[in-house]
Chains A and B, each alone.
Chain A
């Protein structure tokens, strides 16, 4: 019965292809892209199967590697939240890799084989982080994904290696802090297994090292999640990486880190313990709120699209972390839903910027003009869908995650965070509608623009259009049918909700 093997099959698929791609790639260069598609496609298939299986049976799968039972062995825990995350990240990766075909020809020709190999490794890391039930194992997968992402980011334009190096320094410090936190917890509880430790923590909660561990882990993972003020690596890295790398890392990387925060704050420590000694959730909430506003304001100031999207990501991750900090059911629902929504939206937006870079050679907003409307009608339609969703207008997906987050803040009587959500939606509108204005409307000042009737359609090819279209339609469907998704999220609640 393959169902119970799913937790292991997903990472193994990626390992397999991470090895296959170099081997076959050295022999036959041209099929590297197809192989990466095959790998991520199989992983997506398994994720979907596992998710459906889980919804039907409702049982969490605990997969013991090598047959060693915890706490001796390492296990993968495939519960509702993990299954959902894995499905989301693998689907996005699959779609982005489809899109990458054209980009790879232009932005990193001749380096396709290493690129796809590293991409496979990175997805291995992310999937492992989501699935594992052991804290140290999480560190290992964290580093696997981080190292791969440093390499992936460095394959970009001229300024990429420097940005990547900065990210490396900050990211490794984050990982080490997380490891130190794990060490503290191990010293006090004697186990590294998440489920075990959750049972033990109430007995040792007063210990100062436990609080220190919590802080260290939150800060460490917070670096990866780009929680303000630990987000400094993000703008440069996303901007200078190749468009496909940004599209891979932005929707997935920070989300997985946010997922880890979920696990640590809500599942490992648990809602009742978390605020006993130290108002951690309040502090996280404050930083998340600042991050939301900071990201939005900085995004408005940008003239280059990728950098704008990078700051926008800082802002959006703030929403998810704010949802965690609320520690109530609506906040949880809002945060999880926003993981899905933002992954879709951001991936779509980065793909659009990648497409525009390919066709126009740049993604400078100041140079956008309304010939784009004629040249790339479908691309701009997809962009409009994503923009409207980011602002949070119904019936697209973005509205609903903001709605639940708003309900969550109201339930906690946290009016400041409610105001933050509303103000940032307006700020989002500013920087997105600015682009829409430029693309769809005649600039009355620009007399050099030729008559747009003569411009031909120069739309991107199928491999680029298909993922963008799927994501745009996905945003609409997720919005309309979000009640079904929320019903599933109800089953993922940690104990204590």
Chain B
């Protein structure tokens, strides 16, 4: 039982982050908080990938002297790291677009609270 939790702590952490992100997006009324929730959600996915890359006894995939590259077990799996660099950039771009939209909405309606916005639209 303990093994189930401790042995897979990375996955649990991912789950927690995903849940927190979802909570933020669904239950928070302020749009900025929703966006933060989105960001946390994406961070969860990224964390998952990075945790998959982990190997016991290996170091970060940056070439270090004394650790030959041909000996694969010296370095963590570099591929997920590179993929996640792309994903992080995608996340940043998404945040940019989201905030641009929010600025526009704020200028138009004067509020970023979901309930007030619904009232104003009616």
Asked whether any CB of A lies within 8 Å of a CB of B in the complex, the reply is yes
Name A residues whose Cβ lies closer than 8 Å to a Cβ of B: 136, 139-140, 143, 147, 150-151, 154, 158-159, 161-162, 164-165, 168-169, 172-173, 176, 179-180, 183, 186-187
- Which residues of chain A are near B90, meaning CB under 8 Å? 139-140, 143
Q: List residues of chain A with CB within 8 A of the CB of B42.
A: 172, 176
Neighbouring B residues of A187 by C-beta, 8 Å: 52
Partner of B45, one of A158, A168, A179, A186: A179
* A-B contact list, 6 entries, CB within 8 Å: A140-B90, A162-B117, A169-B38, A172-B41, A173-B25, A173-B38
Top 5 A-B residue pairs of the complex, sorted by shortest distance between their CB atoms: A161-B104, A143-B90, A165-B101, A176-B45, A161-B101
Could you say which of B31, B49, B105 contacts A183, with CB atoms under 8 Å apart? Answer: B49
Within 8 A of A (CB), among B84-120: 86-87, 90, 93-94, 97-98, 101-102, 104-105, 108, 117
A-B contact count (CB 8 A): 66
A154 x B108 contact (CB < 8 A): no
Contact yes or no, B97 A147, CB < 8 A: yes
CB distance from A193 to the nearest CB of B (A): 12
Taking A136-B83, A147-B93, A165-B31 as contacts, is the C-beta distance between A173 and B41 under 8 angstroms? yes
Most chain A beta carbons < 10 A, residue from B45, B87, B101: B101
Which residues of A lie under 8 Å from residue B35 when comparing CB positions? 169
Q: Which chain A residue lies CB-closest to B14? A: A180
Q: How many Å lie between the Cα of A147 and that of B100 in the bound state?
A: 12
B80 on the A face (CB < 8 A): yes
Q: Given A140-B90, A186-B80, is A162 in contact with B105 using a C-beta cutoff of 8 Å?
A: yes
Q: Is B62 an interface residue (CB 8 A)?
A: no
CB-defined contacts of B31 to chain A, threshold 8 Å: 165
From A139, A165, A172, A180, B102 is in contact (CB under 8 Å) with A165
Q: Which residues of A contact B38 (CB under 8 A)?
A: 169, 172-173
Point out the residues of chain A lying under 8 angstroms from B121, CB to CB: 159, 162
Chain B interface size range: 20 to 34
Closest Cβ–Cβ distance, residue A304 to chain B (whole Å) = 15
- Contacts A161-B105, A172-B41, A186-B52 known; list 15 others, CB within 8 Å: A139-B87, A139-B90, A147-B93, A159-B121, A161-B104, A165-B98, A165-B101, A168-B101, A169-B35, A172-B42, A173-B25, A173-B41, A176-B41, A179-B45, A179-B87
Contact B94 A143 (CB under 8 A): yes
Cα of A176 to Cα of B38 in the assembled complex, Å = 10
**Chain B hits for A150, CB < 8 A:** 97, 101
Q: Which residues of B contact A186 (CB under 8 A)?
A: 49, 52, 80
A180: chain B residues at CB < 8 Å are 45, 48
B25/A168 in contact, CB under 8 A: no
Smallest Cβ distance from A356 to chain B, in angstroms?
24
Which chain B positions have C-beta within 8 A of A158? 108
Of A136, A162, A168, the contact of B97 (CB 8 Å cutoff): A168
Contact A169 B108, CB 8 Å, known A147-B97, A180-B45, A183-B45 = no
Shortest CB distance B71–A (Å): 19
| Contact between chains at B52 and A161 (CB < 8 Å) | no
Contacts of B87 in A (CB 8 A): 139, 179
Residues of A within 8 A of B49 (CB): 179, 183, 186
Which residues of A are found within 8 Å of B45, using beta-carbon distances? 176, 179-180, 183
CB distance from A149 to the nearest CB of B (A): 10
Contact of A151 among B48, B83, B97, B117 (CB under 8 A): B97
